[in-house]
């Protein structure tokens, strides 16, 4: 038996089975579609909003294996149409607005519920692949420098984080698990770290923030949980399609993760020069504590953006693992971190020159 | 203890819930959204007793004294009517209703039932707006306003325009004034406060900006210029723009003696002296006087911040508190009904004009508008 045949045998879907990708025109979604086509799947339904920028899907739209369906996941009817005949759904679509809890919740949780309900209606789904985020882990009880993996607890009171995205993702995961338990919908949850890639110019807030006019470097010697977009898409595809992973959670980070300090140096050297001020961890923790207390004391005169749960999740020294992904589904990052960063910086410079 | 309910659990409901929970003497007895998940998420994040997906059930079981309606505008009228009929005082988010007729019906119903009603014109109660009102009342203008200018801008970048306007089913499209209907009431209410006539002349000119046309939008007008005039005495200009920068929210009011400039974005109030200084002093003294006023504004803002009374929604907090006080103490409502109705009337007239003339070319349309009289 050939290697390809062996690999296909380990998957829950055949080449002609209908796969649905929500958020298909997005940064990760478009790479996931390409990845699925590369793996030989010939029936990929791409769901996008009618007004989505489709350039990310590019040439894939011309492929006979790709069918674009437009609609709104807040519409039960659109979800019903999208889910018809689907064997595996890769649910990547998520809220864009990170400030409003209600908007984030509506565009992450209500949409997910609509898809789950539609899958119950059609009764042919083999797996619901829910793309979540590393942001959902609390990391509070973890001692400094300890490993954050799939066993770590998720934020119990996500509203305390002051981060609408985290709140929505925690609730989305809870809903998927609830439907899995109640209705027997097979699911897999994938939690990528910060996804790097060309055309994504920003710097992860895990490295630092420029909210106050100067870039505050908060990460220091912390490892930053990067994953390159192609590697991430590959991980989502494998975690979602491999047999025997129902009910499992997979974190996605690449190998050879850089420290925040070394990333910032490389960024300044290869992409853009700017001034930054390093805040030691004890100081950033103290400032987060003061901000949190003042926000409470003043009834939210300062929004609770910075607080201790946020510090634990983003700026506490932590190690990350991709061991489960490698051992359970045989994932290996195809693009090395060195090459990934080089591609990102090159793309940033080209875009700047073009602008 | 005043029992409060919120109907509609979207973005603006967060601000309402957050402010209500910080007020003494009231509790949120229920929240309601026809999407149960949305009602539940608000219930989970705030100290709320129950959540519902049916308004009638909320009114029967939670028995609120006051209901805040924070749903999309198309449902404001029916929900407010139902709440008034069931004996509740009602706070309706802006825009108050879809048209003036609905507004009149609600006001009549509230008056008949001896219940209180208010509209979410919370910008009228920001610190700077309250300061301006005091100065006007002190007679600084030297009589009734001669002229007013209200700028209400809205930043509409390309990504947002795509997200919002690409959706042909978006509820904004169902409003008589579409996007304008949802956003201009704050700016119109500023003018309405100082008009004395119930039926001012309105001349409106609106068009779709090049940015929106660039993303294929042809229906949603995002540039609006309005002239208002009452009884040959007071005039006003209203400007709404999604494209001009700075994207400002300003109000200028001029009397026969002096004028005032209110800058909502920076919470600045400037007195504009009518009198001038002699010779070159008119070039040297006013800048010093303006500098002094700017410093006084800075001091007022810092003072409010240190007193922990400078929240992003300080105006809404003041409006809600005043509204509740009018209920518990039996005093007047914070926004006179005449002002709510006049705002709705002016908006009706604007939308009627830009709606009926949309098919004309911009040149013809503007010429026609300048001859239109109501």
Q: Which of residues 145-184 of B touch A (CB under 8 A)?
A: 162-163, 165-169
CA distances from B260 to A342, B238, B269, B294, B299 (A): 56, 16, 7, 13, 19
Of the given ranges (A182-191, B166-175, B178-187), which has the lowest mean pLDDT?
A: B166-175
Of the given ranges (A63-77, A88-102, B332-346), which has the lowest mean pLDDT?
A: A88-102
**What pLDDT sits at residue A244?**
94
Task: Tell me the C-alpha distance between A146 and A140, whole Å.
Answer: 11
Of the given ranges (A2-6, A271-275, B57-61), which has the lowest mean pLDDT?
A: A2-6
Task: Tell me the C-alpha distance between A205 and B330, whole Å.
Answer: 51
Contact A239, A293 (CB under 8 A): no
Task: Tell me the C-alpha distance between A127 and A107, whole Å.
Answer: 21
Task: Tell me the C-alpha distance between B6 and B45, whole Å.
Answer: 14
Residue A311: pLDDT band by 50, 70, 90 thresholds? very high
- Whether A72 sits inside 8 A of B9 (CB atoms) is no
Tell me if residue A17 falls in helix, strand or coil.
Answer: coil
- Whether A105 sits inside 8 A of B168 (CB atoms) is no
Tokens of A255: 């190998």
Task: Tell me the C-alpha distance between B197 and A301, whole Å.
Answer: 39
- Residue B216: which residues within 8 A CB-CB, separation 6 or more? none
Among B37, B162, B305, select the one facing A110 at the smallest CB separation. B37
* CB contacts, 8 Å: A53 with chain B: 162
Tell me if residue B167 falls in helix, strand or coil.
Answer: coil
End-to-end CA distance of chain B: 47
CA distance A184 to chain B (A): 21
Residue of B nearest to A103 (CA): B11
Q: Is B45 on the interface with A (CB under 8 A)?
A: yes
Mean pLDDT across chain A: 92
**What pLDDT sits at residue B163?**
61
**For A250-285, how does the pLDDT look when each residue is reduced to its tens digit (9 = 90+)?**
999 999 999 999 999 999 999 989 999 999 999 999
What's the CA angle centered on A210, arms A206 and A214, to 5 degrees?
Answer: 130
Q: Is B301 on the interface with A (CB under 8 A)?
A: no
**What pLDDT sits at residue B371?**
47
Total-model pTM: 0.92
* CB contacts, 8 Å: B70 with chain A: none
Of the given ranges (A93-102, A296-305, B232-241), which has the lowest mean pLDDT?
A: A93-102
**H-helix or E-strand containing A168?**
helix A164-183
What's the DSSP call for residue A106? I
**What pLDDT sits at residue B166?**
65
Among B11, B42, B310, select the one facing A103 at the smallest CB separation. B11
Location of structure tokens 């590393």 = A134
**For B319-356, how does the pLDDT look when each residue is reduced to its tens digit (9 = 90+)?**
999 999 999 999 999 999 999 999 999 999 999 999 86
The interface pTM score, or ipTM, of the predicted complex is 0.91
Q: Where are the domains of chain A?
A: 3-198+225-256+318-335
Of the given ranges (A44-58, A251-265, B20-34), which has the lowest mean pLDDT?
A: A44-58
* CB contacts, 8 Å: B37 with chain A: 105, 109-110, 113
Q: What are phi and psi of A237, to 5 degrees?
A: -60, -45
- Residue B122 CA, chain-centre distance (Å), reads 6
**What pLDDT sits at residue A212?**
80
Among B9, B44, B167, select the one facing A50 at the smallest CB separation. B167
Among A51, A75, A299, select the one facing B308 at the smallest CB separation. A299
* CB contacts, 8 Å: B216 with chain A: none
Bridge partner list, A319 = A147
At the fourth CATH level, the homologous superfamily of domain A3-198+225-256+318-335 is: NAD(P)-binding Rossmann-like Domain (3.40.50.720)
Mean pLDDT across chain B: 92
CA distance B12 to chain A (A): 9
> Residue A203 pLDDT more than 80?
yes
* CB contacts, 8 Å: A159 with chain B: 44-45
- Give A286-294 contacts, CB < 8 A, sequence gap 24+: none
Residue among A168, A176, A170, A79 at smallest CA distance from A127: A176
The mean pLDDT of B279-283, rounded to a whole number, is 96
What's the CA angle centered on A317, arms A311 and A322, to 5 degrees?
Answer: 110
- Whether B14 sits inside 8 A of A101 (CB atoms) is yes
**What pLDDT sits at residue B160?**
60
Residue among B326, B340, B264 at smallest CA distance from B99: B340
Contact A33, A44 (CB under 8 A): yes
Domains and CATH numbers, chain B: 2-119 (3.40.50.720), 124-317+345-356 (3.30.360.10)
Bridge partner list, B147 = B235, B254
**What pLDDT sits at residue B359?**
46
Pairing of strands B223-230, A194-196: unpaired
* CB contacts, 8 Å: B38 with chain A: 102, 105-106, 110
Pairing of strands A215-217, A208-209: antiparallel
């Amino acid at each position: 038996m050939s290697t390809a045949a062996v690999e296909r045998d380990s998957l829950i879907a055949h080449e002609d089975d209908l796969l649905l990708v929500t958020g298909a025109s997005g940064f990760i979604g478009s790479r996931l579609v390409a990845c699925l086509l590369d793996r030989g799947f010939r029936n990929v339904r791409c769901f996008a909003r009618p007004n989505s920028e489709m350039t990310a899907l590019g040439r894939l739209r011309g492929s006979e294996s790709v069918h674009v369906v437009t609609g709104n996941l807040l519409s039960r009817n659109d979800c019903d149409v999208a889910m018809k005949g689907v064997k595996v759904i890769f649910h990547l679509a998520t809220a864009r607005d990170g400030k409003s809890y209600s908007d984030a919740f509506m565009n992450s949780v209500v949409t997910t519920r609509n898809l789950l309900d539609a899958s119950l209606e059609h009764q042919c789904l083999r797996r619901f692949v829910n793309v979540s985020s590393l942001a959902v882990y609390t990391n509070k009880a973890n001692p400094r420098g300890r490993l954050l993996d799939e066993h770590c607890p998720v934020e119990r009171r996500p509203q305390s984080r002051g981060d609408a995205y985290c709140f929505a993702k925690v609730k989305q995961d809870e809903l998927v698990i609830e439907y899995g338990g109640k209705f027997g919908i097979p699911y897999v949850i994938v939690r990528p770290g910060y996804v790097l890639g060309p055309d994504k110019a920003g710097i992860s807030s895990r490295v630092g923030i420029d909210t106050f006019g100067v870039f505050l470097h908060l990460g220091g010697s912390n490892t930053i949980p990067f994953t390159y977009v192609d590697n991430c898409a590959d991980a989502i595809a494998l975690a979602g399609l491999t047999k025997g992973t129902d009910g499992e959670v997979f974190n996605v980070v690449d190998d050879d993760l850089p420290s925040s300090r070394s990333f910032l140096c490389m960024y300044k050297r290869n992409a853009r020069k700017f001034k930054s001020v390093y805040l030691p961890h004890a100081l950033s923790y103290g400032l987060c504590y003061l901000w949190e207390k003042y926000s409470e004391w003043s009834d939210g005169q300062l929004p609770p953006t910075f607080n201790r749960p946020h510090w634990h999740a983003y700026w506490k020294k932590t190690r990350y693992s991709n061991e489960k992904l490698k051992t359970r589904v045989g994932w290996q990052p195809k693009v090395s971190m060195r090459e990934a960063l080089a591609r990102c910086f090159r793309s940033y410079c080209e875009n700047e020159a073009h602008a | 203890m005043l029992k409060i309910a919120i109907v509609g659990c979207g973005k603006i409901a967060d601000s309402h819930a957050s402010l209500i929970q910080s007020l003494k003497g009231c509790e949120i007895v229920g929240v309601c959204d026809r999407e149960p998940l949305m009602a539940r998420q608000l219930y989970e994040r705030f100290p709320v007793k129950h959540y519902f997906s049916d308004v009638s059930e909320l009114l029967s079981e939670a028995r609120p004294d006051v209901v805040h309606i924070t749903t999309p505008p198309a449902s404001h009228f029916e929900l407010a009517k139902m709440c008034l009929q069931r004996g509740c005082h009602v706070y309706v988010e802006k825009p108050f209703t879809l048209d003036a007729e609905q507004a009149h019906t609600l006001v009549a119903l509230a008056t008949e039932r001896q219940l209180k009603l208010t509209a979410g014109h919370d910008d009228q109660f920001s610190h700077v707006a309250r300061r301006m009102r005091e100065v006007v009342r002190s007679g600084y203008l030297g009589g009734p306003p001669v002229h007013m200018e209200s700028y209400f801008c809205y930043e509409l970048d390309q990504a947002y325009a795509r997200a919002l306007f690409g959706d042909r089913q978006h509820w904004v499209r169902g409003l008589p004034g579409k996007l304008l209907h949802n956003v201009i009431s704050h700016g119109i209410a500023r003018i309405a406060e100082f008009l004395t006539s119930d039926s001012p002349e309105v001349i409106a000119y609106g068009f779709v900006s090049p940015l929106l046309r660039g993303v294929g939008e042809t229906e949603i007008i995002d540039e609006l210029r309005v002239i208002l005039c009452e009884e040959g005495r007071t005039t006003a200009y209203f400007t709404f723009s999604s494209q001009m920068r700075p994207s400002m929210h300003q109000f200028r009011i001029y009397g026969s003696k002096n004028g005032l400039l209110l800058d909502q974005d920076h919470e600045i109030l400037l007195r504009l002296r009518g009198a001038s200084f002699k010779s070159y002093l008119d070039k040297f003294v006013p800048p010093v006087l303006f500098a002094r006023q700017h410093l006084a504004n800075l001091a007022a803002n810092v003072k409010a911040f240190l007193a922990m009374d400078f929240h992003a929604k300080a105006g809404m907090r003041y409006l809600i508190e005043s509204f509740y006080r009018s209920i518990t103490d039996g005093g007047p409502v914070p926004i006179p009904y005449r002002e709510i109705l006049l705002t709705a009337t002016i908006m009706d007239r604007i939308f009627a004009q830009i709606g009926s003339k949309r098919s004309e070319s911009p040149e013809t349309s503007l010429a026609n508008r300048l001859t239109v009289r109501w």
